[in-house]
Amino acid sequence: MTPRIFIVDDEEHARARLAMLLSDIASECPNELVGQASDAAEALQGIVDARPDILLLDIQMPGMNGLELAERLAQEGAGMPAVIFVSAHDDYALNAFDVHALDYLVKPVRAARLQQAIQRVVALRERTAPQQVSTPRREHFTVHERDRLLLVPVSDVLYLKAELKYVTLRTRTRDYLIEDSLLSIEEELDDVFVRVHRNTLVAKRAIAGVERGVIGGDADGEKTQEGWQVIVKDINERLPISRRQWPGVKALVK
């Protein structure tokens, strides 16, 4: 296994040093640097896009700190990267393991210590990796509503949108709430759905086209701006496309 690694640190020189160390140990400890971020918000989007195996995570950062980010990732469950904290202080070590970190490195990080931490994560993942078992492909989503259980065919779904603790599933006729995570749906049905935004998957067959329009101004504090939107077939809705996801969506509508 060659681990895919993502660095999160608000200091540019600290990110550069870690990237250099990863390159230095690559012959003895193969690794692939798949992304970097300077804060937690940027990291959350980057993790969705890059799907790293390991996160080299600073603790003291403006906004959401590293401990809070690790706790949020732990709540997401399967599919999230293993966390190795990289901090200038050792005061947070006990707190780090409370949020399921697999190692804790103190700056300045030595190459040998970084290699040891990465190899430890790789060995642990290889020991705990489930055997590959062929499972039937999902044909419907299960929806719990009061005293009944509904089965919504995958083929009826136009888009899925993560909101608070649930995912809203939209068909031609109505909305449903499901408890599946957006990431797990994307991984399982990546040939059916395409990610257009950090919180939205759209069925490829439901994309009627794209258009420019005013987007943003949502509850997350995103500013109103002009950008591309997906035109969804059969319903009078437009869904914003993030700049990060635009190249993939554009390729579908060429």
Average the pLDDT over 93-110 and give the result: 80
Both 87 and 149 in a single domain? no
Counting the structural domains of the chain, the total is 2
CATH number at residue 113: 3.40.50.2300
Q: Residue 120 falls within a domain, yes or no? A: yes
Question: pLDDT: is 90 or 117 the higher one?
Answer: 117
| Phi, then psi, of 174 in degrees rounded to 5 | -170, 175
Of the pLDDT bands very low, low, confident and very high (cuts 50, 70, 90), residue 49 is: confident
Domain hosting 122: range is 4-128
In the prediction, which pLDDT does 219 show?
Answer: 47
152 and 99, same domain (yes or no): no
Q: Are 5 and 54 in contact (CB under 8 A)?
A: yes
Does the structure show a pLDDT above 60 at 204?
yes
pTM of the model: 0.55
Amino acid letter for position 97: F
CA distance 55 to 33: 10
- If phi > 0 it is left, if psi is from -120 to 50 it is alpha, else beta; for residue 19 that is alpha
Same domain, 151 and 74: no
The CATH number of the domain holding residue 164 is: 2.40.50.1020
Does 133 reside within a domain? no
User: Do residues 165 and 196 share a domain?
Assistant: yes
Q: What percent of the chain has pLDDT over 70?
A: 89
Q: Are 56 and 91 within one domain?
A: yes
Q: What share of the chain is helix, strand, coil (3-state, %, to 5)?
A: 30, 30, 35
User: Are residues 117 and 155 both part of a single domain?
Assistant: no
Q: Is residue 124 part of a domain?
A: yes
Residues 67 and 178 in one domain: no
177 with 227, same domain: the answer is yes
Tokens of 242: 């993030």
Residue 96 included in any domain: yes
Q: Which of 128, 161, 183 is the last residue of a domain?
A: 128
CA separation for the pair 205, 158 (Å, rounded) = 8
Q: Is-contact 206 233, C-beta < 8 A?
A: yes
Determine contact, residues 196/249, Cβ cutoff 8 Å.
yes
Q: Pick the last residue of a domain from 81, 101, 128.
A: 128
210 forms beta bridges with: 230
Distances in whole angstroms, Cα of residue 8 to Cα of each of 38, 59, 232 = 6, 9, 35
Which of 93, 128, 163 is the last residue before a domain boundary?
128
C-alpha 53 chain-centroid distance: 11
Query: What pLDDT does 92 receive?
Result: 65
Residue 21 is assigned to a structural domain of this protein: yes
Q: Does a structural domain hold residue 134?
A: no
Nearest to 29 by CA among 128, 124, 113: 113
Position 135 in a domain = no
Same-domain check for residues 11 and 113: yes
Cα separations in angstroms, 106 against 84, 138, 143, 220: 11, 45, 46, 33
Amino acid 207: pLDDT: 95
**Do the Cβ atoms of 8 and 67 come closer than 8 Å?**
no
Answer whether residue 69 is part of any domain: yes
